[in-house]
Amino acid sequence: MPDRNQSLTYPTSRKIDQIDEYHGTKVADPYRWLEDPDSEETQAWIEAQNQVTFAYLDEIPAREKIKQRLTQLWDYEKYSIPFKEGDRYFYFKNDGLQNQSVLYTLTSLDGEATVLIDPNTLSEDGTIALSGIAISENGKLMAYGLSTSGSDWQEWKIRDVETGKDLDDRLQWIKFSGASWTHDNQGFFYSRYNEPSEKSKLEDVNYYQKLYYHRIGTSQAEDQLIYERSDQKEWGFSGDVTEDGKYLIISVWRGTDPQNLIFYKDLTNPNSEVIELISDFDAEYGFIDNEGTIFWFKTDLDAPRSRVIAIDITNNTRTEIIPQSTETLQGIGILNHQFVTSYLKDAYTQIKIFNLDGKFLREVALPGIGSAGGFGGKRHDTETFYSYTSFTTPNTIYRYDMLTGESTLYRQPKVNFNPEDYATTQVFYSSKDGTKVPMFITHKKGVKFDGNNPTYLYGYGGFGASITPSFSVSRLVWLEMGGVYAIANLRGGGEYGEEWHQAGTKLNKQNVFDDFIAAAEWLIENQYTKPAKLAIAGGSNGGLLVGACMTQRPELFGAALPAVGVMDMLRFHKFTIGWAWCSEYGSPENPEEFEKLYAYSPLHNLKPGTSYPATMITTADHDDRVVPAHSFKFASALQETHSGEQPVLIRIETKAGHGAGKPTAKIIEELADEWAFLVRTLDVINVL
């Protein structure tokens, strides 16, 4: 094998004289030209960077072996939780290595399933993905969204469930929207934007979303505008029909701020107005269900770990039904006329059942410390399904009887490994300011804690997202090679409710990086690993996390894998939906927030003459969530400032986006490249 520290010759990244001034501070942006992903110069730069990256990866003998093992492990049947509409069941299944999962339908659980839609037939390379479905109340029609090359833009169509044939309806310029059918099965509500410029549709900012009603058999031009706010460009609208079919609930969102408004419309009266039920952005309100004019909501109003309240819409009176607990309430539904609630306790799931008055009835016994999800259905249903997974348990589906409280195994995947060979522990470590932070650590049993284990530390820490135990074939390959896998539940997430989230936002964002750095230090101090053997990884907001930590503490890590990261914290708000993240990060237009953003922005904190960890940045040329300019500019600046011999590479996927809907083949190739990169840069000895 060639020397892993050999010098690489990187493509030249032209620098321009671009200076911006922010509140009296002048900031250079020499790689601004890379913000245009379609220019000839950028395209040539992408090709040149990929040549260097893939030439490096091609020289790693373990790469092909890793890819083969990933492919072998990946090849098992994967089922989603079944759900029911009308007299039909629906579920997704992947035979193993299919690029996209296939949607099936059947009339009884022991009946013969038929294919309703197979996205693999829509493109040769699997880059057209099913991005959303909505089944009509009678189970006879399906509205479905398609996304091409990973874009957030969707085109929606309608399919006859019985025949599998599409109707003529075509709906375009839909983004950040589902669909919700009226109970006459004649149409559905959805949200869309105005038609963008064809040339710049992957970069343009997205403002002024509108809520529409589409009646089947009509053109999109005839769709009824239900609600818009020309005075509120940042507002978005999610419309959902209540289970009794009588109301349209409109959740009004503003960026990624968890706080929302709730409006409603009486669907029994064709001339009814949209009524503002909750008109202040004072908390998060998640509609659960209604009993006539009594509406139930999950909310964090005066309860950062969330509670359940009832609002009588006739007089707007509020009653607490389930008070806040010591655990964090994550989700809730109604089955068998009972509340089925999902709580997080130290980042793992607890399921509790209450009656409609809020009285606790029982806890659902789960197989272990892991993540459970599902429990969907209608209010009168007495059976439901849920999935359970942990770091060493593949996603397993259970049938749950609401009357007896019994779980029975429904689908258990057959993966070619022995879960008894591995162990998971949860530890709590102290961050810089003394805050206790949980971390899950998984490894082969019998691993020696002598400081020499290759270790992969993953984090996210943002947008109230909780990172809970889950099974991953890619992680399994790392564990088989003797690697340690650690996940830190950083502030900024939702593991301990809204206070935990807010402690990692805006002016508090540095807490997230401190938490991640403290996790690395704990792993080193406790002899799991050492800096030369420690890799950090994260995607999107987690890519920002990796970028900030590797620029703040370059000596602490042996390798860094920032994926589709937000790296330019001064211009993130100027592209697609980036403006919406100001509620999380703060705005460069605000002087105080600018100071904090500038202080940690990965692009702006690279220092010439510094030896940075071995780095492989990953992005996609069609990412219209976190535009690839973030990664392009960061890679150029890192290659320029880096003084060490460790490689600084950027792997740019083509015909792919932010990650959603990515074909299995592309996922396996990218993972094989990442593990091979770490095998070489961390000097991993036990390669399968």
Is residue 246 packed enough to be buried (19+ CB in 10 Å), middle (13-18) or exposed (0-12)? middle
Out of 466, 540, 583, 636, which one is annotated catalytic?
540
Q: Which of 636, 561, 607, 629 is nearest to 11 (CA)?
A: 636
Phi, psi (rounded to 5 degrees) for 680: -80, -45
Contact between residue 428 and residue 471 where contact means Cβ atoms under 8 Å apart: no
Helix (H, G, I), strand (E, B) or coil at 181: strand
Out of 214, 443, 501, 658, which one is annotated catalytic?
658
The angle at the Cα of 128, spanning 125 to 132, to the nearest 5 degrees, equals 150
CA 540 vs CA 148, 353, 602, 631, 654: distances in Å: 20, 35, 13, 10, 17
Size of the chain, expressed as the number of residues it contains: 688
Q: Which of 427, 614, 437 is nearest to 518 (CA)?
A: 437
What are the structure tokens assigned to 614, written together? 């071995």
Q: Which of 515, 463, 513 is nearest to 489 (CA)?
A: 515
Helix and strand tally (H, E) in the chain? 10, 39
Contact between residue 16 and residue 34 where contact means Cβ atoms under 8 Å apart: no
Contact between residue 221 and residue 194 where contact means Cβ atoms under 8 Å apart: no
- Distance (Å, whole) CA 1 – CA 35: 37
The residue type of 525 is: E
Q: Which of 72, 66, 68 is nearest to 416 (CA)?
A: 72
- Distance (Å, whole) CA 332 – CA 501: 20
Q: Which of 56, 52, 16 is nearest to 36 (CA)?
A: 16
Q: How many CB atoms lie within 10 A of CB 233?
A: 12
Residue 332 makes CB contacts below 8 A (sequence gap 6+) with 286, 288, 298, 308, 339, 340, 341, 342
Contact between residue 616 and residue 537 where contact means Cβ atoms under 8 Å apart: no
- Distance (Å, whole) CA 322 – CA 338: 12
Out of 223, 623, 624, 673, which one is annotated catalytic?
623
Q: Which of 586, 519, 525 is nearest to 553 (CA)?
A: 519
- Distance (Å, whole) CA 100 – CA 116: 14
What are the structure tokens assigned to 544, written together? 């920002």
Question: How does strand 88-94 pair with strand 484-488?
Answer: unpaired
Phi, psi (rounded to 5 degrees) for 592: -65, -45
As a three-state string, the secondary structure of 467-482 is CCCCCCHHHHHHHHCC
Q: Which of 387, 385, 347, 340 is nearest to 362 (CA)?
A: 340
End-to-end Cα separation, the chain, in angstroms: 17
540 in catalytic set: yes
Question: How does strand 436-444 pair with strand 484-488?
Answer: antiparallel
Q: Which of 280, 329, 253 is nearest to 580 (CA)?
A: 253
Residues forming the active site: 540, 623, 658
